[in-house]
Amino acid sequence: MAIAEVSIVPLGTGNVSVSEYVADAVHVLQKSGLKYQVTPMGTIIEGNLEDVLQVIKHMHETPFARGIQRVYTTIKLDDRRDRKVDMEEKVQSVQQKLKKHTSS
């Protein structure tokens, strides 16, 4: 299972807001059935590598369908194969270690 984060930024829109483009991309993601989480800086997706890359490609296409001529997409891919780790566990693991700091 891979966990990816994707940020899709349309260029040359004439408007600083990008949320409608992000919503388009997330709408495509929803239809994929993959587990995801929208954050203030991107969209996190969990699934097997092939499926995740496939849906990111479709998400990246969405601004072009609205007439945008240039899209700048950033992808981070965290692919761990020693054991299955899901999104929630990654955050929980950090928070558990953080408790030791704050209690010491």
CB of 6 to its own copies, least distance (A): 9
Binding-site member from 33, 48, 58, 88 for its own copies (CB under 8 A):
88
Q: Would you count residue 34 as binding its own copies (CB under 8 A)?
A: no
**48 in contact with its own copies (CB under 8 A):** no
Q: Which of 1, 44, 55, 59 binds its own copies (CB under 8 A)?
A: 44
Half-sphere exposure of 11 (CA within 13 A, CB side): 5
* 22 contributes a contact to its own copies by CB under 8 A: yes
Residues 6 or more apart whose CB falls under 8 angstroms from that of 47 comprise 1, 2, 34, 35, 55
Long-range contacts of 81-88 (CB under 8 A, 24+ apart): 84/1, 85/1, 85/3, 86/1, 86/3, 86/35, 86/46, 87/3, 87/35, 87/37, 87/44, 87/46
Query: Does 19 engage in binding with its own copies (CB under 8 A)?
Result: yes
Q: Which residues bind its own copies (CB under 8 A)?
A: 3-5, 7, 9, 11-20, 22-24, 26-27, 30, 37-42, 44, 46, 49-50, 53, 57, 60, 64, 69-82, 87-88, 90-91, 93-95, 97-98, 100-102
